[in-house]
Amino acid sequence: MLMVAAYRRTNLTLRQIALLFGVSKSAADRIICGQYGHGSALDGLVESGDELPMAPSA
């Protein structure tokens, strides 16, 4: 998940992400694109700067 987050939140290439995490480019590709469908593991998470939804007041 950390690798997917780093890939989605930075401008690093897949090759640079692989080097950063000490894995092969193929392994990084499988982790980011294969298992998670091009990083969709983070879809729906709040981006920095977005406001969190507020709970209804009682």
Please check the confidence at residue 50 and state whether its pLDDT lies above 60.
no
C-alpha span between 6 and 19 (Å, rounded): 12
| pTM, full prediction | 0.56
Q: What is the pLDDT of residue 34?
A: 75
Dig out the tokens for 27 from the structure.
Answer: 């392994």
Closest to 27 in 3D by CA, of 37, 12, 13, 15: 15
Write down the number of H helices and E strands in the chain. 3, 0
Residue 15 lies in a domain: yes
Residue 47 lies in a domain: no
pLDDT digits (tens, 9 = 90+) for 18-44: 999 999 999 999 888 876 555 454 455
Residue 32 lies in a domain: yes
Q: 29 by DSSP, 3-state: which? A: helix
Residue 46 lies in a domain: no
Pair 7, 17: CB distance under 8 Å: yes
Count: domains in the chain: 1
Residue 10 lies in a domain: yes
C-alpha span between 50 and 18 (Å, rounded): 29
